[in-house]
Amino acid sequence: MDCGGDDLICQGMTWLEHNEFVASTMAELVSRLGSQASGIIGAIAIFIEHNAQAIFGAAGLTFGIWRWWRYREQILHKRLAEYLRDSDARLKDGQQYVLNALERPSPGQSFSLPLFASEQLRSVLRERNWDKSATAVQVASSAEWQLGQALDIVKRQLKTADDNITSLRQQYATAHILRGAIASSMAKRNPAVALQKNNAALTEFRTALQIPGHEGDLTAKELEAHQLRKLGHLADALQAYRALEKLASTVDDQRTQVLLIARSKRYQAEILQAFRAQTDADGKVTFRGNLTAYDLISVNRSGSALDLRRQLAPFQGWDLCEHGDMNYVAALVCNILGFGGIEANHLREAETSYGGILAEVPRRRLSLDRQSSRRLRQVANEGLRRVEAARDGTYDADWLTPPLKKTK
């Protein structure tokens, strides 16, 4: 296996590996240099003298494994690049030869071979009586047929190459999305680095959206909107959720489409309500009413988040939890507007949703999703406590929008 052109260590070890005489001479030299020494150095020299062959054999094997690991893909890509350069050069030369032959046909015209790597493609250059085969067809017919075959082959190869590029871009986007999700998760667990990690997550999601073909990636767009909201960039987050709503309308699967649109409307309502928040000197958050937020989320409004979700009921698991959360937000919006009766209905729906989770998910569950079930029960219990406090007139503003206390 070849070394890189600038890797002197690899080249030196390769030379040593293929010159056993030099290796044995070096071992003998080391033993002689240490023969007069005493103590640890002398012991090492004696050990080398008696085990030189085994030592250099083990070193050669180790180096061989390392070299295979280091250069297996590097050399492959290097040779591929060289092949493409040579192939493109031959193709350009061949194209020029063909054009010259068509413009100035002559039986005595000579070409520099090989023109193409394929014998079949070279025969495209037949002109008049140049091909002496008794079974040769007319040059025009032969060339047209062979060029048609070549075009079909190249077309299939281009399709394969395009599919490969699409797959690589999908992997690239997925890697950025996962890195962003990990950074966002780390921000939750460690408040000391929350700002740094949330910004890093936002960068990852935006990078994924910049990859060709992924400008409309629903997952990356939704996560970008969530990160903007977490960081307190509410105006930008509002625009991102509106863009997500438009993108979601193009999804073929009806359930996925409805859930995405409803979720984007829910967070738009939260942000619009946050714009109407005021914080007094004691840090208490108060709100002014927002009818637009009410139109976006309340079940009483056609096309709202909760109105859209009704067609998908009943819900289970995290979808049921999200349904409870939306009803809680709707209850807050109604409370601010003074719609007491509608507020009570939303709180009742939220309580039913959270209670349904606790009834659906056993306390002890021997399954692979045990941790997820435990977390789901925890979130449901927190939701029930929020509903109970809301009935006493206290809504959890920090849960509603994390940076709400900083909103003026």
pLDDT 10s digits, 187-226 = 888 888 889 999 999 999 999 999 999 999 999 999 999 9
In a domain, 181, yes or no: no
Q: Which of these three, 81, 98, 114, is where a domain ends?
A: 81
Q: Which of these three, 59, 81, 103, is where a domain ends?
A: 81
In a domain, 156, yes or no: no
Tally the domains of the chain.
Answer: 2
In a domain, 158, yes or no: no
- Residue 117 confidence (pLDDT): 47
In a domain, 354, yes or no: yes
Range 39-61 average pLDDT: 60
B/e letters for 251-263, b = 16+ CB within 10 Å, e = fewer, are: eeeeeebbbbbbb
Q: Contact, 183 vs 201, CB < 8 A?
A: yes
In a domain, 174, yes or no: no
In a domain, 44, yes or no: yes
Pairing of strands 277-279, 285-287: antiparallel
In a domain, 371, yes or no: yes
- Residue 116 confidence (pLDDT): 47
User: pLDDT tens digits for 287-328?
Assistant: 777 899 999 999 889 999 999 999 998 999 999 999 999 999
Q: Which of these three, 61, 81, 101, is where a domain ends?
A: 81
Please give the residue range of the domain that contains residue 61.
8-81
- Residue 406 confidence (pLDDT): 42
Range 271-284 average pLDDT: 77
